[in-house]
Amino acid sequence: MKTWFVTGASSGLGLHMTRTLLERGDKVVAAVRRSEPLDALAVRFGDRLRVVRFDVTDTAALRAAVVDAFAAMPRIDVVVSNAAYGLFGAAEEVTDAQIDRQIATNLVASIHLVRAVLPHLRAQGGGRILQVSSEGGQVAYPSFGLYHATKWGIEGFLEAVAQEVAPFGIEILIAEPGPTATNFAAGLDVATPLDAYGQTPAGDVRRALLGGNFPVKGDAQRTVDAMIAMADENRPRRRRALGSTAFENIEAALRGRLDDLRAQREIAYGADSLESAARNA
């Protein structure tokens, strides 16, 4: 039996994960803003489900909930940073307030969650942090620029943290699902469109998404099962693309960037100092 701390546990992948973990016999500390979606699970699973209510953008409340959770449980094996939502709109269309909320929820709150749990994971001799990112942490769609900024940002942060905490037995895992059949689209914060972007790639994505024509191949339960399996493995790879769309898009993006990089080798080396170039000659 493992114990998990899951944010964003009241809907989408977080709710699927919470239910699946409880059904297999694990314990879950479920962090939510609204507890009602978990009421039936609380009745069914009793003290194996501990529900804590706070807004992840309230850093003081987040830290207090983490302290309480680790105090209440002998050990927390996996911390799942899942709370997030999508902001949709071209860079010129989104408002300052929308930008601030997107970054506060997806990026800053995720950073603070990691910072809050690290002392406890060190004290217990290790554990794992599973960040639910997205294919959007390595690729980009028009009109999702701010969402991508948060996902690319948290992945970069965790690449550094993984190196910092490895000596303590703490492992960082990053799941990158592609478009998946959840309530993600229903929860989108959609910016007011500008006519100027109507006949552009940004407008094309808007019409496809809001018209129900954006291809969604991922299955929520199978995605959650893959994430849980990742966290269970003895020696998992740090990143895991989930879904054919994610795999194909990430592979194409990485190949393209690698081709661009290799084509500029001489230019890159030409920026070294003359002394360094002479030493490496």
Q: Which residues are catalytic?
A: 133, 147, 151
How far apart, in whole angstroms, are the C-alpha atoms of residue 203 and residue 141? 11
- Bridge partner list, 189: 87
How far apart, in whole angstroms, are the C-alpha atoms of residue 258 and residue 245? 20
Give, in order, the Cα–Cα distances in Å from 218 to each of 2, 53, 173, 178, 245.
Answer: 26, 29, 20, 7, 8
> For the residues of 39-101, what is the DSSP string, one character each?
HHHHHHHGGGEEEEE--TT-HHHHHHHHHHHHHHSS---EEEE-----EES-TTTS-HHHHHH
What pairing do the DSSP bridges indicate for beta strands 27-32 and 49-53? Answer: parallel
Q: Is 260 left (phi over 0), alpha (psi -120 to 50) or beta?
A: alpha
How far apart, in whole angstroms, are the C-alpha atoms of residue 118 and residue 125? 11
Are 62 and 112 a contacting pair, CB within 8 Å?
yes
The two tokens of residue 146 are 């701010």
